[in-house]
Amino acid sequence: MFGKKLVGNEIEPKCKYCQFGEAEESGEAVLCPKKGRREPDDSCRKFVYDPLKRTFRRPKPLQTFSAEDFEL
């Protein structure tokens, strides 16, 4: 229980999640002080995961029920 991470144990390295990378305004590339301009899905040995840069999928909206659904 103590070793389990919040978003999983296997994070695929990508420049868009790296601590060092800064996204361009257009979002087409990542500016890295170590490797220069990179594609968002590229990675290198200097990768350090930054969970604040990750965007998670929104959960599906909850289904609405009526009073008729709970009648026998």
Q: What is the pLDDT of residues 52-62, one digit of tens each?
A: 888 778 888 98
Sign of CA dihedral 19, 47, 57, 4: negative
Lowest pLDDT segment from 1-10, 12-21, 33-42: 1-10
Q: What is the pLDDT of residues 19-53, one digit of tens each?
A: 999 988 887 899 999 889 999 899 888 888 888 88
Does residue 8 have a pLDDT over 80? no
Angstrom distance (rounded) from CA 55 to CA 68: 38
Angstrom distance (rounded) from CA 21 to CA 6: 22
Q: Where are the beta strands (DSSP E) in the chain?
A: 22-23, 30-32, 36-38
Cβ neighbors of 56 (< 8 A, separation 6 or more) are 7
